[in-house]
A and B are shown apart, each in its own frame.
Chain A
Amino acid sequence: MENLLLTITAVAENEEVRYRFMDFIRELTSGVNIALLGAAIAVILSGIGSAIAVGKVGEAVSGLMTENPNLFGKALVLQALPGTQGLYGFIIAFMVLLRLGILGGNIPDLSFASGMYYVFACLPVAIGGYFSALRQGRVAASGVMLLSKQPDAAGKAITSAGLVELYAIFALIISLLFVLQAPVA
């Protein structure tokens, strides 16, 4: 044990090893990597939200189908509604890649601070998308219940669920405006 500690201390005190470790950290936290982390967060969080919500509504739709299969078309619209947040997250991630030029194959030299800019830019759509998807899913699922009682109320159910969408759109727009102005060096 004592020997091991001694070895570690010796290694840590070795100039060259220390230098290489710092290099590793520096590469790991390169601006581009941080920017990509932002894009990943955008697509992952909003995707999780949408996946959960679409799944929840899907369960309600299956229940409805046992009673009235004719309503599938209307129910499908309700199920699709909370899926858009995932799409918005994808759009932002895509715009980040586009802005960085990674899709063109070149990896820009970005400072850590510039990389963090992308992370902040992705936060609105990631968090806003996540929560609005969950809430929209709940409204849509109860809309499906409404549909089973009153098939004619599809318009009302869709409108109620559609209103929740707005906050995801706001998040998308703000994230987008950030990304469009993002530094590329």
Chain B
Amino acid sequence: MSIARMKKLSLLLPQGDVDRMITKLMYLRCVDVEQVRDDEEAGLKTFRDEAEVAGLRRRLLEVESAIKALTRFEAQKKVFGAKRTAVDLRKFSSSPGYRAALELAGEVNGIVEKIETARAEEARCREKIKELEPWISYDLPLGFTGTEYTLAMLGSFPANISEERVVAGILEAGGAVELLGRDGSASYVSIICHRSDEDKLARVMARLGFVKAAFRDIDKTPAAALEEYKRAAGNALKACNEYEAELRERAARLGELEILYDAVSTELRAAETKLRLASTENCAYLSGWVPEKNEARVVSVLDKCDCAYELTEPAEGDEPPILLVNNSFAKNFEWVIGMYSYPKYGSYDPSFIMGIFYCLIFGLMFADVIYGLIMVAVCFGGVKLLRPREGTRRFLLMFGYCGIACTVMGVLFGGYMSDLVQQIMTNFMGIENPPSLALLVDPLQNPVGLLVVALIVGGVHLIAGMAVKMYITWRDGHPLDAILDTLPWWVLFAGLILLYFMPDIGRWVALAGVASLVLTQGRKNKNIVTKFLGGVFSLYNLINFASDLVSYSRIMALGLASAVLGQVMNILGIMLGKGPIGFIFMILVFVAGHGLNMALNILGSFVHTSRLQYIEFFGKFFEDGGRAFTPVLPADKYTADSTE
């Protein structure tokens, strides 16, 4: 409902106390620390030492990879959103448990490294084995290159050269050849010759496509070498398994690593926050923002510390961060505003009124009882069962509320998985032309009716936007402007509506509206002529209103699209639904088809409802450009604070 009032916190403290103070502020959970700029005149220099941050980042990465390694062996796989461990990170950080967990992370990473080395060794051996296999029947050491007078070599000929040709060619050149084996790509041979025949032989063999194999570093027979590599590969694999067992043993201590992760990441946040401070020779200076309602809590903590501080109202030129304060319904819609932009400090928080219209318009775009109930079940059920983090919680709750709106609208517009009820009545119960279930308008039979409803809702939405503008202007001390900027328009709108129902009265009301616009809208201009012209030109805004209003026809388009897509899925499913097997197919088509329809149209409705808020509604009053209030917080990825 409102934008929280902020107090500016200026804090001077001895340099030695900086780390302790930041931790304290962190656990207050309500201090947004600003970046202090260098100020040479005042002798202020920002902390620039990034070494601590870099060290902590590295440590965090190590813990992360250790967690990843152990997660594979976790005895009980975590169910989605398992409960976070309650722990006091401050106590943990100074306890021996921190050291122990850090050592554990080191051990785990060490083992992981060993596993990787062993795996690489195994792969290397397997590669060698594959290389050696063709030579297995050779019974001399592989590195043997001959005696004083003879030359021995190993090599292969391409498979497309026939063995007879090879043998004949080598014999003719004076060499002896033994065929060792062959596979699809080559035949493998050992050749012995007199050293004096070497050149002649080389020419012949080159013609035949000889490729020499080099095993100079192996002085064993292929069979023995193969055996050795097989043993080595086996050993590596065994070592791998042993190391994995070591990891498995440590999997039970995964919890410690998770706590450590949050502890280190909290330290990292503190170190990063420190870089936003500035220092003189002995002191440090911190500047930040505290919501007014938390002032007393902050004061009570700071009073006990050795520091000088001051909490002041924001000065001219300050840009306090924006914290929106809302009831349990409206706060779920804050992130939609955040996606656009936070409002400026001191302007207006539209969460609540936007939330109501958000549900209403979303419901109209996706009016269906069954779909709505599914959304309600998934969203509220998800919040109940998974206990998600605050951000996800709000996201789910918002769509839960939208689901309620969809259900209500579904009753009004007769959508029960689109027209499933009527389809079943016609196809399985033999009722011709079943009645519509809609209480208000059936979009499939009367799209124009839906269009009218959409435009009426749009009109109300726009008028509400103008009313908010009126409220803001009045609140800011301009009651006259508040009335003159909106009331004449409303008179004109009323006149235009009356024109349709009671033309005689409507005409005069509309004219009164036009006249009052012409007379008032130019009032800021200097002389009488420009005042009058300003008034006349303001009538041009009527076109803007018209185009804003027409924009709401998208409600009809999206509402109809979801109904028609659902209808097509129903027809497709029922077409298949003859006999028991067909029945199964029908159910499958329903599940897949309606699932697709829901996914598409929830996304579409979300986008277009947001757009109607951002452009049509916010356009009437919203002042953007605020920065979100982001207090320094301890990490809570795996843990929940037990002191809370």
Partner-B contacts on A (CB < 8 A): 77, 81, 84, 87, 91, 94-95, 98, 103, 155-156, 158-159, 162-163, 165-166, 169-170, 172-173, 176-177
Contacts and interface: CB of A to CB of B under 8 A. Distances in A.
B575 interface: yes
Given A156-B339, A173-B447, A166 B603 contact: no
Interface in B386-419: none
A166 B554 contact: yes
Nearest to B553: A170
B557 A170 contact: yes
Contacts of B600: 84, 87
Contacts of B568: 91, 94-95
Contacts of B560: 173, 176
Nearest to B339: A155
B551 to A, nearest CB: 10
A159 B607 contact: yes
A85 B568 CA distance: 15
A159 B610 contact: yes
Nearest to A153: B339
Nearest to B599: A80
Contacts of B558: 169
Given A158-B603, A169-B561, A172-B564, 9 more contacts: A81-B603, A94-B568, A165-B607, A169-B554, A172-B557, A172-B561, A173-B557, A176-B560, A177-B447
A177 B563 CA distance: 13
Interface string B544-573: 000000000010111011001100100110
B611 A159 contact: yes
B604 interface: yes
Contact of A165 (B447, B572, B604): B604
A163 B568 CA distance: 24
A163 B612 CA distance: 11
A173 B562 CA distance: 11
B607 A158 contact: yes
A94 B565 CA distance: 11
Contacts of B557: 166, 169-170, 172-173
B608 A166 contact: yes
Contacts of B447: 173, 177
A163 B609 CA distance: 11
Contacts of A173: 447, 556-557, 560-561
Interface residues of B, number: 22
B265 to A, nearest CB: 17
A162 B339 contact: no
A43 to B, nearest CB: 13
B611 A163 contact: yes
A1 B308 CA distance: 112
A169 B554 CA distance: 9
Interface string B589-605: 00000000000100110
Contacts of B565: 87, 91
B561 A159 contact: no
A147 B339 CA distance: 15
19 contacts: A91-B565, A91-B568, A95-B568, A155-B339, A156-B339, A158-B603, A159-B339, A159-B610, A162-B604, A166-B554, A166-B557, A166-B608, A169-B557, A169-B558, A169-B561, A170-B557, A172-B557, A172-B564, A176-B564
Contacts of A94: 568, 571-572
Contacts of B608: 162-163, 166
B398 to A, nearest CB: 12
A87 B569 CA distance: 12
A87 B603 CA distance: 15
B251 to A, nearest CB: 24
B607 to A, nearest CB: 3
B586 to A, nearest CB: 15
A169 B605 CA distance: 12
Nearest to B561: A169
A159 B557 CA distance: 17
Contacts of B607: 158-159, 162-163, 165
A83 B558 CA distance: 16
Nearest to B615: A163
A173 B560 CA distance: 7
Nearest to A177: B447
Nearest to A156: B339
A84 B597 CA distance: 10
B453 to A, nearest CB: 15
A155 B606 CA distance: 10
A94 B568 CA distance: 8
B575 A103 contact: yes
Closest A-B pairs by Cβ, 10 of them:
A162-B607, A169-B557, A155-B339, A173-B557, A169-B561, A159-B607, A91-B568, A173-B560, A94-B568, A170-B557
Contacts of A77: 603
A6 B554 CA distance: 65
Nearest to B610: A159
A49 B352 CA distance: 41
- Taking each of A87, A166, A172, A177, which has the highest tally of chain B beta carbons within 10 Å of its own beta carbon? A166
A153 to B, nearest CB: 9
A87 B558 CA distance: 15
Contacts of B556: 173
A52 B620 CA distance: 39
A77 B564 CA distance: 22
A91 B557 CA distance: 15
A77 B599 CA distance: 10
A57 to B, nearest CB: 15
A172 B571 CA distance: 18
Nearest to A171: B557
B367 to A, nearest CB: 15
B611 A169 contact: no
A173 B558 CA distance: 9
A98 B554 CA distance: 26
Contacts of A81: 603
A170 B561 CA distance: 9
A93 B334 CA distance: 42
Contacts of A169: 554, 557-558, 561, 604
A42 to B, nearest CB: 13
A84 B447 CA distance: 21
Contacts of A158: 603, 607
A177 B444 CA distance: 10
A172 B611 CA distance: 20
Interface in B438-495: 447
A77 B604 CA distance: 12
Contacts of A166: 554, 557, 608
Contacts of A172: 557, 561, 564
B563 to A, nearest CB: 10
